[in-house]
Structure 1
Amino acid sequence: MNKILATGLCLALLASGANAQQPAKTAPKKTTAPAKTLSAKAVAAGIPAELKQPIPFDPDVKVGKLPNGLTYYIRKNAEPKNRAELRLAVNAGSILETDDQQGLAHFMEHMAFNGTKNFPKNELVSFLQSSGIRFGADLNASTGFDETVYQLPVPTDSARLFERAFQILEDWAHNVTMDPTEIDKERGIILEEARSGRGAGQRMREKYYPLILNNARYTYRLPIGKDDIIKTFKPEALQRFYKDWYRPDLMAVVAVGDFDVAQVEGMIREKFGRIPAVNNPKPRLKYPIPPHKDTKIAIVTDPEQPNTMVQIMYKRPEIKEKTLYDVREAIKRVLFNSMIGNRINELTQQSDPPFLGGYSNYGGFLGDQDAFSSYVVAKDGNVNRAVTAILDENARVDRFGFTETELERAKKQYQKYVDRAYRERDKTRSTSYVSEYVENFLHGDIPVSISFYNDFTKKYLNGITVGDVNNLAKQFITTENRVVVIMAPEKDKAKLPTEKEILALIDNAGKNLTAYVDKTLDKPLLSTLPVGNPVTSEKEIKDINVTEWTLRNGVKVVLKPTDFKNDQIIFSANSPGGTSIYNDKDFESARFASPLTQMSGIGEYSQIQLGKYLTGKTVSVSPYIGETTEGFSGSTTPDDLETALQLVYAYFTAPRKDPDVIRGFLSNQKSALQNQQATPTPQKVFQDTVQSLLGAYHYRRLPMTPDRLEKVDVDRAGAIYKDRFADASDFTFFFVGNFKEKDMKPLIEKYLGGLPVTNRKENYRDLGIRIPAGKIEKTVVKGLEPKSTVQLVFSGDFVWNTDNTTQVDALAEVLEIKLIETLREEESGVYGVSVNGAYSKIPAQRYTLRIGFGCAPENVDKLIARTLAEIDKLKQNGAESKDIDKFKAETRRETELQLKQNGFWLGYLSNQYFNNDAPDEILHEAEFLKQVTPESTKQAANLYFGKNYIKLLLVPERKP
């Protein structure tokens, strides 16, 4: 089942899964896959025969099954070029563990990286790192309740490496060696992973899980397992899980990328065909979540829970999409979610919002169930008001339905969404396809081609009526299988409603309601169009295909046309100044000037009305005021570029003040800050301490508090915003994406050329904020769980040039490689460790190297000593050549991908111009990498791991 989960309890359920190695980035879901629907209706009378047809499987993927039962999916896709995404999906997870195996599905996944037939011990990770594949970020795996999925992105321009990648997949499938010594070493790593997840959320989850899951097996099979079992299990228990469940009939190999399909199929048949089929396999059982007639209510509190959250779930059987009727029903549900989401969002833009945040949404839940969920974060702990507000909106939809205008906007927006996916069909990344095929194997979700889905949407979307969508509320909201969970700070326990009061609150919601009024504004976005200015000078940087324009009003424009995406233009702008030019008295007003203005709308349009006006357009424009700059970030499409530029012009010339929205925003901010202050989490206290100390306790680096928020002067904030955007003559705009300069020019001249200018001369101000020098130690004692956090910070002055930035990057990477080997693999003392190198030119040339990890309190001193010992080795000998080669390989492979990404180029060009560095510097990366040697890393280590050393610790209040 494709779990489409929102935040709140649904997210908490998924978070109980486990990732081996470092947490992987979530793969984006392909935009064209239809959502879940109520498929039981597909056989109902009156459905047109054409909609009773089965959903057509995407014809561009080759699906096969080997004689031993293993399934494979293969698709050629050249985005990105010379890359492939490989997956090994195993239809087995923690739900299949026996009592003595709790946590071993996840442990098994870890062991796949710790020795196989063809890659003993840690050779697998080392081999892939030397090929440019990052451990954790690229090479990864995850274990859930019902499945285990291994991911391996790999280059295809090396035949040997590509073949070895399939050998790795085969080894994971049936050749993991499970050396007892490696098992014992891995116990500590997994215990550290479990430790990292401990806290208020985990403690409360243990209380409400049995209730909301009605004591289903899922309650007692969290993928992370049980510590006592992880510490003491016999290797035979792990081997038994591997033998029982890692078998070809429960596996799929998925390969999508820039390769020859026939060649890949041959490799799969050769390697995976030799895995023997299992005779008399154990049945792969599914475990239902038992239904219940009553309403289950859980009220849980914790001393480290900072706010009060409520979720009401209406569980129902999982929806399987099988027919075209189901696809049409799915669209109805998407429209429903969109419209109710917009209504609830409007509630937060009142002068006194009823809650800090909330949503109502129908989606996947867990196992064999979906759920309609309403979720709110109570304002000032007022559960009654928050719950009443969210349920009243649900009831308003149930009683009065949506309006025709709401539905038309939702259709328009969804059609635009599908249109964009169709336009990008030849630029869809392989990760999207891989995710779909894994879901098909594990949960039966049928992948469809975007061409089919685009045609289907055009044919059936307009036929969906308000009545069709309004009927869904009655299906979703029932009294059976209803669950309510309240999570609150322990200090507020006495103020919480009782179970009886909660039931009454829910059952009595929706009284004295009136129908929703859809307020829109039908006026031009700009009351008067600008009188522009022409381009007066032009410069080409041919080796990176960049053009610079200067307009008569002084605005500078940097353009890089690309073909990386068919329907994307992204842009940014910056100007020197920012909040730095205002004194501390104005700082709070200055830092809030941009968000207060943006949430007010522009011209005659409120933010809500503006959102409605922009329906059907792909436009995002956001002004910002940072510490040293002000400017914009934005994205759009070639069709909507003019609208985007109109918005930029309006934010310059027609900012708006909406007193009600501003009052509501500040009220919510104050309530949230009061919650944090009253019940600060250990991590929040630690983060605030780190930020304050590293900022030398400067006023502008201290944490935000309710008292500081009171210093925001709304009128002053508005004046500061207008001041920052009063003069466009020192702004530089950057555009990257699918455009032609000849088409851009008249629009740029009209809207950016029409921006106001005063030709004032200004710059940012160096506030003199520096990380303190010398040796400093700071320990924060906070937290109930036996876990600690360590941050080691080295800093100092820096000579800004590319040679030096490359050496800092290399130093951070080679040290991280070494610390993973020592702190994780040898000491078994951490789950993950990070080393980050950063450097800046503005406002001052500085560098920072930060080392971070979490561990058991009793291991803090030992692991810090081991870390400093590795730094000393670098100072004495420099990095090992093999680690330098890994850094270079990873950097080259990463750059190959980045050079084909609009987002990279936008950020890169913006930084290069702001720092006054050569725009084509990226093309010379190979020359700078050559300068990284054992000797250079030795010199860098002695230079950058110097006397300015800060040790920051978070330790628990009570000893384990």
Structure 2
Amino acid sequence: MPQSVFPFSWRRVAALFFALLFLPSLLGAESIGPAPRPAQPSCLAANWPHDGSDLPPDPALTFGRFANGLRYVLMANDEPKNRVALYLVVRAGSLQETEEQRGLAHFLEHMLFNGTTHYPPGTLIKYFQSLGMDFGGDTNARTGFDETVYNLLLPSAESAVMAEGFKVLADYARGALLLEKEVDRERGVILAEKRSRDSAASRVSKKQMEFDFAGTLVARRDPIGVEEVLNTADSRLLRSFYDRWYRPDNMIVVVVGAMRPTETAKLLETAFAGLTAAEATVSCPETGSVKESGIEILVLPEPELGSTALSLSTVGNIQPRQDSRAWEIEQLRQYMASILLGNRLDQLEQRPGSPLAQPQTHAGLFLRQYQYATLTARTEPGTWRDGLALLQTTLAQALKHGFTETELARGKREIRALLDKAVQTAPSRDSREIAEEIIRKLGDGEVVMSPTQEMAFYGPEVDGLTLTEINDALRQQWSQPRRQIHLAGVLEPGLTAAQLEDQVRALYRTNESKEIPAWVEAQRAPFPYLAPPPVPANEPVERASHKEIGVETVTLPNGVVLNVKATDFQANQVLLSVQFGNGRQAEPAAGMALAAEALMRESGIGRLTREQLGEALAGTNVSLDFAVGPESFSFQGGSLRNEFETLLHLLRHRLYDPVFRAEDFRRSRENLRRMYDQLAGTVEGIGQIQGDRFLAGGSPEYGLPTWDEVNTIDLARIGQWLAPAFAREPLEINVVGDIDPGEAVTLVRQYFGADRRQAGEAPPVQPIVFPAGEQRRLQAASSLDRALLTVAWQTSDFWDIDRTRRLNLLASVFDDRLRVKIREELGATYAPRVISQPSRANAGFGLMKSSLIVAPDQAEALARATREVAAGLSGKGVGEDELHRALEPTLTSIKDIKRNNRYWMESVLNLSSRHPQQLQWPLTILEGFAAIKAEELTELARQYLAPERAATVIVGPSVPGQPGPQP
């Protein structure tokens, strides 16, 4: 299967790193047509990674190529049922642009939705919707440095639907109209997208990219482009890029889903074999090389980032290599070295008073031409010196003294767990994930292997890894003499960037000269250590079978309610959810729920810290997270089927031996403060803290508390709130997945059948007063030219399911009208969004909320336009055509989610002991939505969406010279 686990984990970190830090086949290998002429430029490579490799590709894949050079990969797959994922990969992105074309690869991606040979402007999205495809979900595109990818998830595997899908992709490939009027119209959308993506983090990432890759094309080719080009680009300029790079011999079509490869290849041939390249000269870009020596310091004062980011890294040049067994073994050793170094950083973070927060290590390849390794962390503005010294020392320890056998054994367990999960879950892979993995591996020049192949290859190699090999791999990662140190974000007052740069350089030199102590391994405690008490024998259990939805409810003699739904949707995977207590309904003080969640994320259990618990669970795929919901506390997680008992062990320890340590509380408090500092510098953050609370009358169900509220919560109060609930509140335990219900009942009874619990009294819910007709202007401590516009209306609560479904569909219609009006017609925003948020906890309350990122000076006008669109829903009403275009994607989505374990857990079983009506909803969801009529939506719009009932929030940047708000 193409969803490689080891290479995926290893190489995908390249893309993730730069995003975060810079913020034999069924038809044979070549099935149709002769090979392309060999005289083409080297960047239009025609070979597959497995050509000439000693690694065999996944035998489930069909590889093909037409005479015009276009290649394809096909794979039959069953999930989602009766759907097919189509991808067109154009091997050109921002690196293929010339200086006068900067931003055109992305601009062109937009334009292909605005008019092609068979789909005139304004018709393609409506066509997708009429088929049952959601724009943005089932059809989308993306542009990167070296590729542009278009994707469709067809709602049916019928030949006629697939043929139409291929017609769309073929139009993308060579049928772009690029009408001047449409170019001008889309220009505003692209500038709005640039505005919406602008942030302190993106500014820092771009500057870091330019710094680390100075001297290369990477540093000058941000995919979003530059405004000088975006403001002046015309059809002629776009056509020059399109004709040069959108050519059959520079494209790959990837098809994964419920189809027959032989028949699909014929449909592909009809759509693509006749395409021809334009008469345009292809000149392969010279990307350049990075320097490979010296100590380089980058200091970026960026107070709006909200925290201090520190990194120590190296970047060097590498020649692309043919994938092979030897190359993959080399990469495996490098991956293991990164895991072990990362595990050390996790231990350091847990030490009392550690200057490091959220430390990470990454290493890998970028664009197959550059190799990198980096250590990153957050610090306080005044502790970055200690943080840098600790990162430096940790790296030097590993480079000089190497790792230990205990560390290597843990790393082996972790990699084996990933490989094992890939094999066990392979039968229920998602077609989109498979297709994306194929595209990633082809782009990286990797052979696409199945999980079984990877287990057979990597498994023995993992078992045989030695310390010498891993230590040598780490030294190879850091063999370049070049070192880069980044210090960005909130910096010490009173020091210039130049002064800080001098201090960083001097400190690094001083640390280099110090004696390097050996690593001291931490003591390990056993797990599990809590033995469940004996369950009284022969006590009867109550059983209720909900056969129509495949759910069995068992009430144990001690009152524990267990709901089990066995599914085959996701092979060998099991979800667990435990609901108890009253959650935010019983929150003693504003901010308590958020502080409690943050503390639990940092906490282990009574005898083990978080990192020690992670070490004890290494080699498993067990996870369990804590949350405070509107109506309850919850632990939610999952595992493989054969790890389910370990998951119950973990749950028992979380409930019966919780820990509230001062050091964990310190870290959680600092993480929250950094989060709030960052939120204060964004319009979205102020919208969450002040805007959402304004719209909901201060209800904790919506938005975030203020930092002042969170900061008053101390450790003792959190323990006093959580500990009694963990120990005494009755449990509703829900299990969904590939498990035998009898096994689930036996194990749950064994671990939780002896507990005696008593429910506490739920406090009354405070009513919400919606600020109808009011407007509030807020400021974020930001210099960015962007504003968040929110216009909302009060609706009603969640519990009338017919009304809730209709409000959900009304939100879809409203969303589409906003898209047409404000994005397509006005070009004033990139992604308008309308959602319905009915309350579960507050009777009679809900929100219909629209959100847009806009230019600050346009916010008032666009607020009026939004209210006018809403008024049109009630005035002119909802038309049958737009009902159909909103309903069909919803019906398609329902068919998918009913085969998803999370739907059954989160929408049906969770809290069903309190709300038994939830167990009936799956029986009517498809028919209920299908029966919705246009006039019903019009009536809801008239009931709720009157312009005078709207409340408006505009969050803009701080006025120059005035302080921004405190969250």
User: What TM-score results when the alignment is normalised by the length of structure 1?
Assistant: 0.90
Superposed displacement of residue 99, structure 1: 2.5
1:732-776 Cα deviation digits (max 9, x unpaired): 11100111122222212111212342x345335413344434433
Are 1:289 and 2:316 matched, yes or no?
Answer: no
- Which secondary structure state, in structure 2, belongs to the residue aligned with residue 492 of structure 1? coil
After superposition, the Cα gap between the structure-2 partners of 1:853 and 1:708, relative to the gap in structure 1 and judged at 3 Å, is: closer
In the alignment, the residues of structure 2 paired with residue 599 and residue 204 of structure 1 have an alpha-carbon distance, to the nearest angstrom, of: 27
- Which secondary structure state, in structure 1, belongs to the residue aligned with residue 330 of structure 2? helix
Q: Which amino acid counterpart does residue 316 of structure 1 have in structure 2?
A: G
Aligned to 2:518: 515
Aligned to 1:458: 459
Q: Which runs of 5+ in 2 are unaligned?
A: 1-6, 24-51, 961-967
In the alignment, the residues of structure 2 paired with residue 202 and residue 315 of structure 1 have an alpha-carbon distance, to the nearest angstrom, of: 20
After superposition, the Cα gap between the structure-2 partners of 1:771 and 1:342, relative to the gap in structure 1 and judged at 3 Å, is: farther
After superposition, the Cα gap between the structure-2 partners of 1:764 and 1:60, relative to the gap in structure 1 and judged at 3 Å, is: farther
Contact kept in structure 1, 2:582 and 2:631, CA below 8 Å: yes
In the alignment, the residues of structure 2 paired with residue 420 and residue 713 of structure 1 have an alpha-carbon distance, to the nearest angstrom, of: 40
In the alignment, the residues of structure 1 paired with residue 22 and residue 609 of structure 2 have an alpha-carbon distance, to the nearest angstrom, of: 37
- Which secondary structure state, in structure 1, belongs to the residue aligned with residue 198 of structure 2? coil
After superposition, the Cα gap between the structure-2 partners of 1:280 and 1:13, relative to the gap in structure 1 and judged at 3 Å, is: farther
Q: Which amino acid counterpart does residue 355 of structure 1 have in structure 2?
A: L
Residue among 491, 497, 501 paired with 1:499? 501
Contact kept in structure 2, 1:155 and 1:162, CA below 8 Å: no
Aligned to 1:575: 580
Q: Which amino acid counterpart does residue 893 of structure 1 have in structure 2?
A: T
Q: Which amino acid counterpart does residue 504 of structure 1 have in structure 2?
A: A
Q: Which amino acid counterpart does residue 572 of structure 1 have in structure 2?
A: S
Superposed displacement of residue 570, structure 1: 0.4
Contact kept in structure 2, 1:575 and 1:631, CA below 8 Å: yes
Residue among 528, 539, 544 paired with 1:539? 544
Are 1:652 and 2:660 matched, yes or no?
Answer: no
Superposed displacement of residue 901, structure 1: 1.0
- Which secondary structure state, in structure 2, belongs to the residue aligned with residue 611 of structure 1? helix
Query: Where does 1:560-709 land on structure 2 (aligned, <5 Å)?
Result: 560-581=565-586, 583-584=588-589, 592-593=595-596, 595-596=598-599, 599-666=602-669, 668-669=670-671, 672=674, 675-676=677-678, 680-697=681-698, 708-709=709-710
- Which secondary structure state, in structure 2, belongs to the residue aligned with residue 178 of structure 1? coil
After superposition, the Cα gap between the structure-2 partners of 1:236 and 1:325, relative to the gap in structure 1 and judged at 3 Å, is: same
- Which secondary structure state, in structure 2, belongs to the residue aligned with residue 312 of structure 1? strand
In the alignment, the residues of structure 1 paired with residue 816 and residue 592 of structure 2 have an alpha-carbon distance, to the nearest angstrom, of: 44
Q: Which amino acid counterpart does residue 290 of structure 2 have in structure 1?
A: P
In the alignment, the residues of structure 2 paired with residue 234 and residue 309 of structure 1 have an alpha-carbon distance, to the nearest angstrom, of: 40
Contact kept in structure 2, 1:351 and 1:662, CA below 8 Å: no
After superposition, the Cα gap between the structure-2 partners of 1:437 and 1:726, relative to the gap in structure 1 and judged at 3 Å, is: closer
Contact kept in structure 2, 1:796 and 1:948, CA below 8 Å: no
Q: Which amino acid counterpart does residue 544 of structure 1 have in structure 2?
A: I
Aligned to 2:301: 301
Aligned to 1:244: 244
For the aligned residue pairs, the C-alpha RMSD in angstroms reads 2.7
After superposition, the Cα gap between the structure-2 partners of 1:603 and 1:126, relative to the gap in structure 1 and judged at 3 Å, is: same
Contact kept in structure 2, 1:85 and 1:153, CA below 8 Å: yes
In the alignment, the residues of structure 2 paired with residue 93 and residue 581 of structure 1 have an alpha-carbon distance, to the nearest angstrom, of: 52
Query: Where does 1:763-802 land on structure 2 (aligned, <5 Å)?
Result: 763=762, 765-780=764-779, 783-798=782-797, 800-802=799-801
In the alignment, the residues of structure 1 paired with residue 938 and residue 436 of structure 2 have an alpha-carbon distance, to the nearest angstrom, of: 43
Contact kept in structure 1, 2:304 and 2:678, CA below 8 Å: no
Superposed displacement of residue 887, structure 1: 1.8
In the alignment, the residues of structure 1 paired with residue 676 and residue 542 of structure 2 have an alpha-carbon distance, to the nearest angstrom, of: 53
Q: Which amino acid counterpart does residue 845 of structure 1 have in structure 2?
A: G
Superposed displacement of residue 13, structure 1: 7.6
- Which secondary structure state, in structure 2, belongs to the residue aligned with residue 291 of structure 1? coil
Q: Which runs of 5+ in 1 are unaligned?
A: 16-51
Contact kept in structure 1, 2:57 and 2:448, CA below 8 Å: yes
1:505-559 Cα deviation digits (max 9, x unpaired): 3344363443333334354513433222555110111111100000000010100
Aligned to 2:36: none
Q: Which amino acid counterpart does residue 501 of structure 2 have in structure 1?
A: E
Aligned to 1:416: 417
- Which secondary structure state, in structure 1, belongs to the residue aligned with residue 253 of structure 2? strand
Superposed displacement of residue 805, structure 1: 0.7
Contact kept in structure 2, 1:591 and 1:626, CA below 8 Å: no
Contact kept in structure 1, 2:243 and 2:280, CA below 8 Å: no
Q: Which amino acid counterpart does residue 790 of structure 2 have in structure 1?
A: Q
Contact kept in structure 2, 1:9 and 1:311, CA below 8 Å: no
In the alignment, the residues of structure 2 paired with residue 535 and residue 737 of structure 1 have an alpha-carbon distance, to the nearest angstrom, of: 25
- Single out whichever of 634-643 and 502-511 deviates more from structure 2: 502-511
Superposed displacement of residue 153, structure 1: 1.0
Superposed displacement of residue 212, structure 1: 1.8
In the alignment, the residues of structure 1 paired with residue 799 and residue 124 of structure 2 have an alpha-carbon distance, to the nearest angstrom, of: 37
After superposition, the Cα gap between the structure-2 partners of 1:731 and 1:472, relative to the gap in structure 1 and judged at 3 Å, is: same
Aligned to 1:356: 357
In the alignment, the residues of structure 1 paired with residue 705 and residue 848 of structure 2 have an alpha-carbon distance, to the nearest angstrom, of: 26
Aligned to 1:31: none
Q: How many residues align?
A: 917
- Which secondary structure state, in structure 2, belongs to the residue aligned with residue 462 of structure 1? helix
In the alignment, the residues of structure 1 paired with residue 125 and residue 710 of structure 2 have an alpha-carbon distance, to the nearest angstrom, of: 49
Aligned to 1:924: 924
Aligned to 2:196: 196
Superposed displacement of residue 237, structure 1: 1.0
After superposition, the Cα gap between the structure-2 partners of 1:699 and 1:899, relative to the gap in structure 1 and judged at 3 Å, is: closer
After superposition, the Cα gap between the structure-2 partners of 1:373 and 1:716, relative to the gap in structure 1 and judged at 3 Å, is: same
Aligned to 2:964: none
Aligned to 2:165: 165
- Single out whichever of 539-548 and 739-748 deviates more from structure 2: 739-748
Are 1:336 and 2:337 matched, yes or no?
Answer: yes
Contact kept in structure 1, 2:289 and 2:317, CA below 8 Å: no
- Single out whichever of 637-646 and 595-604 deviates more from structure 2: 595-604
After superposition, the Cα gap between the structure-2 partners of 1:526 and 1:211, relative to the gap in structure 1 and judged at 3 Å, is: closer
> Aligned residues: percent identity?
25
In the alignment, the residues of structure 2 paired with residue 521 and residue 125 of structure 1 have an alpha-carbon distance, to the nearest angstrom, of: 57
Aligned to 1:32: none
Aligned to 1:861: 860
1:221-280 Cα deviation digits (max 9, x unpaired): 222112222222232111111111111111111111110111110111121111124567
Aligned to 2:28: none
Are 1:131 and 2:131 matched, yes or no?
Answer: yes
In the alignment, the residues of structure 2 paired with residue 830 and residue 527 of structure 1 have an alpha-carbon distance, to the nearest angstrom, of: 55
Contact kept in structure 2, 1:308 and 1:488, CA below 8 Å: yes
In the alignment, the residues of structure 2 paired with residue 8 and residue 593 of structure 1 have an alpha-carbon distance, to the nearest angstrom, of: 29
After superposition, the Cα gap between the structure-2 partners of 1:325 and 1:535, relative to the gap in structure 1 and judged at 3 Å, is: farther
- Which secondary structure state, in structure 2, belongs to the residue aligned with residue 639 of structure 1? helix
Are 1:85 and 2:90 matched, yes or no?
Answer: no
Aligned to 1:437: 438
Runs of 4+ in structure 1 off by over 6 angstroms are 6-9, 698-702
Contact kept in structure 1, 2:602 and 2:667, CA below 8 Å: no
Contact kept in structure 1, 2:310 and 2:377, CA below 8 Å: yes
In the alignment, the residues of structure 1 paired with residue 622 and residue 701 of structure 2 have an alpha-carbon distance, to the nearest angstrom, of: 33
Q: Which amino acid counterpart does residue 605 of structure 1 have in structure 2?
A: L
Contact kept in structure 2, 1:578 and 1:630, CA below 8 Å: yes
- Single out whichever of 532-541 and 116-125 deviates more from structure 2: 532-541
- Which secondary structure state, in structure 2, belongs to the residue aligned with residue 348 of structure 1? helix
Q: Which amino acid counterpart does residue 604 of structure 1 have in structure 2?
A: R
Q: Which amino acid counterpart does residue 452 of structure 1 have in structure 2?
A: Q
Are 1:10 and 2:18 matched, yes or no?
Answer: yes
Superposed displacement of residue 288, structure 1: 2.7
